[in-house]
């Protein structure tokens, strides 16, 4: 064997040993057989510490009639130079909302066969907690099993009907035809019509209320109600709080005359939330998101941070456009306002409609968080109240998941615009447990009685007992 052959054998042995050391299994064909070399799909092992990690390899093999050529190449990772864009352009412009209360820009389609009812309501975000329920979803892996889910509590005090607005159809859309207010309008409602209530003369509705008292005014009101029955579609104005939130709500169901009669009967009356929504119903939540002020592109759009040694900052967009056209496109991520945007979230399932604190047989009833499985005498309020909100004393709605906005923000709750037919929407909710531990820190106790039983008598209790004795 000459020197060249010996070197070739050594090189081939070294190559094959390195190849097999990388755990790639290859079975060569027999002499004279046709076809390609049989290659078994095995990953090589790259050891990093004590745990081996698989690394894919690419093998190129020649046919059996030709000299054997083995090529081993590795699919190395590399820096990505293209990716889907960050952030949706469907919500442009991302600027501060002009209104603080969410606006229902559309309502469910009217069905005259149903009784007259409201299609929206106002609520106030109190906070979040979690519940335990049994899933009723045949065929699912979690069917008849208990799951823990996050829920949001929205306080929904009864709304007062203070007016009726009639609309007529025109070639350019709906136009307000008649507006009728109630005889008695509260001070909270009047505040909404003034920019500065303290410095004003507080004369709003003083002349209008006299219409309900004299004969001429009553005739005019009867005429206006009759005109509404003849020409209009109906909406309502509910109010709540010190400076009331006024909103027009579309009335669905029945004929136009039925809607006018319903609105007239409900003037100056309270409409509770259980007259609008029902248990297990899917609703839409409209509101203003939490504001974060002026933010850069990394926080506002979620773009990737540049490498550490990038000149002049790394929380930026590397290229904001070409030389020509010599302007920045609207689709390029830029710094600006983040949050406090008007958003609509659809398909929020109502898990519970709770009754507020009320008196029964001369006693104050607060037990609105008990279930058939948890008979504890407790309210929906966690120990210490909801953080940055306080105690929920009025009627409330429990919806699945989170909603937009911060605590105390007013939200518009609207009936779903869709016809709900899937199993998740039609599922009956069976609550087993509602958590009422403190939401400030690591809460452990569901009620104050449970905490006292665990902690035992405290020093302050002993001092109070001695002072009273």
Spatial neighbors of 270 by CB under 8 A, at least 6 apart, are: 158, 159, 160
Mean pLDDT per 10-residue segment, the chain (469 residues): 49 43 40 39 42 46 48 54 87 94 93 93 94 94 95 92 87 86 83 89 82 74 66 34 80 92 89 94 96 97 93 93 96 96 96 92 91 92 91 93 94 95 93 95 92 89 88
What pLDDT is attached to residue 20? 40
Residue 401 backbone zone (phi > 0: left; psi -120 to 50: alpha; other: beta) = left
CB 59 within 8 A of CB 39: yes
What pLDDT is attached to residue 28? 40
User: Which domains, ranges and CATH numbers included, belong to the chain?
Assistant: 3-74 (no CATH), 92-106+119-144+278-306+333-469 (2.40.30.10), 159-271 (3.30.1430.10)
On the CB side of 352, CA atoms within 13 Å amount to 26
Core vs surface per residue 120-149: b (16+ CB within 10 A) or e = bbbbbbbbbbebbbebeeeeeeeeeeeeee
Q: Quick one: 451 exposed, middle or buried, by C-beta within 10 A (0-12, 13-18, 19+)?
A: middle
CB 231 within 8 A of CB 209: no
State the Cα angle at 190 between 188 and 192, rounded to 5°: 85
What pLDDT is attached to residue 169? 85
Give the pair of three-digit tokens for residue 173.
Answer: 């859309």
What pLDDT is attached to residue 182? 84
Give the 3-state secondary structure of residue 317. coil
> DSSP string covering 47-72, please?
EETTEEEEE-EEEEE-BTTSPP-EEE
On the CB side of 1, CA atoms within 13 Å amount to 7
Q: In which element (H, E) is residue 282 found?
A: strand 282-288
What pLDDT is attached to residue 210? 77
Classify residue 417 by its DSSP letter. Answer: S
What pLDDT is attached to residue 45? 41
Q: Which residues pair with 130 in a beta bridge?
A: 150
Residue 13 backbone zone (phi > 0: left; psi -120 to 50: alpha; other: beta) = alpha
Give the 3-state secondary structure of residue 392. coil
pTM, two decimal places: 0.74
| First-to-final CA distance of the chain | 114
Residue written as token pair 């003849």: 230
Cα(466)–Cα(461) distance, integer angstroms: 9
């Amino acid at each position: 064997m000459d020197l060249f052959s010996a070197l070739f054998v050594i090189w081939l042995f070294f190559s094959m040993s390195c190849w097999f050391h990388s755990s790639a299994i290859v079975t060569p064909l027999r002499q004279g057989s046709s076809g390609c070399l049989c290659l078994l799909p095995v990953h090589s092992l790259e050891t990093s510490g004590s745990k081996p990690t698989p690394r894919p390899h690419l093998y190129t093999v020649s046919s059996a009639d030709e000299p054997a050529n083995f090529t081993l190449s590795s699919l190395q990772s590399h820096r990505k130079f293209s990716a889907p864009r960050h952030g949706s352009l469907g919500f442009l412009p991302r600027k501060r909302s002009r209104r603080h209360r969410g606006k229902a820009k559309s309502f469910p389609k009217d069905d005259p066969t149903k009784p007259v009812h409201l299609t929206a309501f106002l609520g106030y975000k109190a906070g979040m907690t979690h519940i335990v329920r049994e899933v009723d979803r045949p065929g699912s892996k979690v069917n008849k099993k208990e799951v823990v889910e996050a829920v949001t509590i929205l306080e929904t005090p009864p709304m007062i009907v203070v007016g009726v607005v009639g609309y007529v159809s025109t070639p350019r859309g709906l136009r307000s035809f008649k507006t009728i207010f109630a005889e008695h309008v509260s001070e909270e409602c009047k505040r909404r019509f003034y920019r500065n209530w303290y410095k004003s003369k507080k004369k709003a509705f003083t002349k209008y209320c006299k219409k309900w008292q004299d004969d001429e005014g009553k005739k005019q009101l009867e005429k206006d109600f009759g005109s509404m029955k003849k020409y209009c579609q109906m909406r309502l104005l509910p109010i709540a709080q010190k400076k009331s939130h006024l909103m027009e709500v579309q009335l669905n169901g029945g004929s136009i005359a039925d809607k006018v009669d319903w609105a007239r009967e409900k003037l100056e009356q309270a409409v509770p939330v259980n007259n609008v929504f029902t248990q297990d119903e899917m609703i839409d939540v409209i509101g203003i998101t939490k504001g974060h002020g002026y933010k850069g592109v990394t926080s506002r759009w979620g773009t990737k941070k540049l490498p550490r040694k990038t000149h002049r900052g790394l929380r930026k967009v590397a290229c904001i456009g070409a030389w020509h056209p010599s302007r920045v496109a609207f689709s390029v991520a830029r710094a600006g306002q983040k949050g406090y945007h008007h958003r609509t979230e659809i398909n929020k399932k109502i898990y519970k409609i709770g009754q507020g604190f009320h008196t029964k047989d001369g006693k104050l009833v607060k037990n609105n968080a008990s279930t058939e499985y948890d008979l504890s005498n407790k309210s929906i309020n966690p120990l210490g109240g909801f953080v940055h909100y306080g105690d929920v004393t009025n009627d409330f709605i429990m919806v699945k998941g989170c909603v937009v906005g911060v605590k105390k923000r007013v939200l518009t709750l609207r009936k779903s615009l869709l016809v709900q037919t899937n199993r998740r929407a039609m599922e009956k909710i069976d609550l087993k447990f509602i958590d009422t531990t403190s939401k400030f820190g690591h809460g452990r106790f569901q009620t104050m009685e449970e905490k006292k039983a665990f902690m035992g008598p405290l020093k302050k209790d002993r001092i109070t007992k001695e002072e009273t004795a």
